[in-house]
Amino acid sequence: MIGMKAGSKIDSKIAFLISFFPNKRIAITHLVKLLYALELKSIAEKKRRFSQLKFIHDHYGPNIPEIESILSSSFFEVQFDEDQKYYYSNFKSNTKETKFSTEEAKFIEEFALEFREYRFSGKGDPRNAGGLLGYAYNTEPFIETKFKEEINFEKYIGNSFIDKVLIKDKDFERYKTQALKLSEFITPLFTQEARNKMRTRLSKIKNK
């Protein structure tokens, strides 16, 4: 594992994350949903946020208003391939600008290895049961936030269940079947606990 100094420079962390993806590249919409999933995983496992990035509830799931500014650093190169804008990682393990710890590097690497099979979307894809967009739509921080409102991750710190999806009854069996087809690739499993939690939440809303 790469030895790194402690710090919080987010552009180097993002570049390190992208370096695990095919051709060291990723589309910005895909990246934003990955960073959202990474925040939830960090809260669930580390009991702290991965970054201090601002996420808002937007049209197509969680969004980071400042993401293009962050990706303008020397850690990235932008190219257009197949009519799609991609950001390529220029991450070098020996760069003097890299400011994160070995522990953080390990966490990012483990996350990347789990999530790099997830497409941005794809309802018929059993590998991800709806993709990162579907994942984002069915997690508590997004569900409980209003349109254009900032997502307050801090209020979920201590919730080890926060990175799991909440699936409505009508969708549960379909998603569960999809997930089980390639369960070794699915980290946010569609669990019975998630189903029960969604039922409780919907019941409270109905009784208001």
Q: Are strands 25-27 and 76-81 parallel, antiparallel or unpaired?
A: unpaired
Q: Could you tell me if 3 and 73 are in contact, meaning their C-beta atoms sit under 8 angstroms apart?
A: no
pLDDT at position 141, please? 92
Residue 4 placed within a domain? no
| Pairwise pLDDT comparison (10 vs 135), residue with the higher score | 10
Q: Looking at residues 129-140, what average pLDDT do you find?
A: 80
Give the lowest-confidence range in 85-99, 130-144, 160-174. Answer: 160-174
| Pairwise pLDDT comparison (198 vs 21), residue with the higher score | 21
Give the pLDDT band of residue 204 (cuts 50, 70, 90): low
Residue 52 placed within a domain? yes
Residue 2 placed within a domain? no
Q: Range of 21's domain? A: 10-206
pLDDT at position 70, please? 93
- Give the DSSP letter of residue 24: G
pLDDT at position 167, please? 63
Residue 3 placed within a domain? no
**Considering the chain, what is the average pLDDT of its residues?**
79
List pLDDT tens digits, range 50-99. 999 999 999 888 999 999 999 999 999 999 877 788 999 998 876 666 77
Q: Could you tell me if 135 and 33 are in contact, meaning their C-beta atoms sit under 8 angstroms apart?
A: yes
CA separation for the pair 39, 52 (Å, rounded) = 9
pLDDT at position 205, please? 47
Neighbour-count burial for 59-81, b at 16+ CB within 10 Å, e otherwise: eebbbbeebeebbeeebbeeeee
pLDDT at position 187, please? 41
Residue 148 placed within a domain? yes
| Pairwise pLDDT comparison (165 vs 88), residue with the higher score | 88
List pLDDT tens digits, range 27-50. 999 999 999 999 999 999 999 999
pLDDT at position 34, please? 94
CA separation for the pair 178, 123 (Å, rounded) = 10
Report the domain count for the chain: 1
Give the pLDDT band of residue 197 (cuts 50, 70, 90): low
Residue 5 placed within a domain? no
pLDDT > 70? residue 202: no
pLDDT > 50? residue 180: yes
Cα angle 33, 126, 169; round to 5: 80
Which amino acid is present at 193?
Answer: E
